[in-house]
Amino acid sequence: MREFEGLVESFEGNRVVLDQTAFNPRGGGLVSDTGRLNGMTVVEATKEGDNVFHLLEAPADLRVGDRVHGVLDWERRHRIMRMHTTAHILSSVVNGETGALITGNQIGPVESRVDFNLEHFDKDRMSVYIEKVNDAVKRGLEVRAYFMKREEAMAVPGLVKLANAAPPTVDLLRIVQIGDVDTQADGGVHVKNTGEIGTVIGLRTENKGKNNRRVYFTVK
């Protein structure tokens, strides 16, 4: 969703909360969307409790109940979706090849990174992994999102990798499935089809401590 209508629920200075929003707030390793509300620039969206705060560039002239038209910076958002979907495919490939698990990620529109708990990382293997990622991307895999009861999801091995991230009070988990490559509980934004990703480029790897290997990539 690139554009939407919402009603102002509250605002304070340049922080606005709406009754609904298409802005994906910063979190889970993803940077925030940016865009506009009634033509005013939204520099960041953050989540506190159940509320998404839209941070405007300047104080807003708004009233509670005002209708606003929201527009996402779609080029940025689509790059974030391409990068995030790529991170899942890369994680699946590296996990399949080495057994390494992800210890962190940072997804942004320009470059992104995934951290793996690997003691040794053969840099020459990097190009092989990226090639496998591009093979999956080019297969044009459908990306599906659906909801599953928490206890059912917990019973599927490997599905809930961040079980502690979702509070136990949440009894429906969102599952994201990328063709036959990756299925897991995930709250982030993804493309509809891996064909949208284009070409994945491995940028560099870094050693971040004994068991931590950081892999940077981008999409073109």
Separation of alpha carbons 154 and 191, rounded Å: 25
Separation of alpha carbons 33 and 40, rounded Å: 14
Which DSSP category does 20 fall into?
S
- At its nearest, how many Å lie between Zn ion and the CB of residue 183? 11
Report if residue 182 touches Zn ion, rule: CB under 5 A: no
Separation of alpha carbons 68 and 25, rounded Å: 18
Binding mask 127-166 for Zn ion (x = CB under 5 A): ----------------------------------------
Pick one of 56, 186, 214, 217: the residue that binds Zn ion (CB under 5 A): 186
Nearer to Zn ion, 109 or 188 (CB): 188
Nearer to Zn ion, 8 or 94 (CB): 94
Report if residue 25 touches Zn ion, rule: CB under 5 A: no
Report if residue 115 touches Zn ion, rule: CB under 5 A: no
Pick one of 132, 188, 189, 217: the residue that binds Zn ion (CB under 5 A): 188
Separation of alpha carbons 85 and 114, rounded Å: 12
How far from each other are the two terminal CA atoms of the chain, in whole angstroms? 22
Q: Which residues pair with 51 in a beta bridge?
A: 48
Nearer to Zn ion, 18 or 173 (CB): 173
Separation of alpha carbons 181 and 34, rounded Å: 30
Nearer to Zn ion, 13 or 147 (CB): 147
**Segment contacting Zn ion (CB under 5 A): 56-64, 141-149, 188-196, 206-214?**
188-196
Strands across the sheet containing 200-207: 102-106, 112-117, 212-219, 200-207
Which H helix or E strand runs over 216? strand 212-219
- At its nearest, how many Å lie between Zn ion and the CB of residue 84? 6
Nearer to Zn ion, 33 or 186 (CB): 186
- Residues interacting with Zn ion, by CB under 5 A? 186, 188
